[in-house]
Amino acid sequence: MDQHRRIIVAPVITEKATNLRDRNVYTFKVERRANKVQISQAVEALFEVNVESVRTVSVPRKPKKQGMFSGFKAGWKKAYVTLRQGDSIDLVENV
């Protein structure tokens, strides 16, 4: 169970991710080294749902600058998880 919590870092709550929930697709920030099978198993174990498919995207790092200091915003991995018909996840309450 603790291993599954390390794979799923956080849900992504954006306008696009919220619109995708109408099609039963949920978006998560995941560990960079996690593969699709591990992501699927983690979502099924944590939320007790059936996963139909998983798509992953590596979000690249972005240059950032503040005053004379420059650096990079860290890159991360995003997973789009499609659930079977009838399953859902309640990520945010009262929204």
* pLDDT one-digit tens code per residue, 46-59: 999 999 999 999 99
* pLDDT one-digit tens code per residue, 16-75: 999 999 999 999 999 999 999 999 999 999 999 999 999 999 999 999 999 999 999 999
Q: Strand runs (DSSP E) across the chain, as ranges?
A: 8-11, 25-30, 51-59, 62-66, 69-73, 76-83
Q: List, in order of start, the domains of the chain with CATH numbers.
A: 2-83 (3.30.70.330)
For the entire predicted model, the pTM comes to: 0.88
- The number of angstroms, rounded, from the C-alpha of 41 to the middle of its chain's C-alpha atoms is 13
Q: Give the model's pLDDT for residue 91.
A: 73
Q: Give the model's pLDDT for residue 73.
A: 94
The alpha carbon dihedral of 43, 36, 81, 27 has a sign of: positive
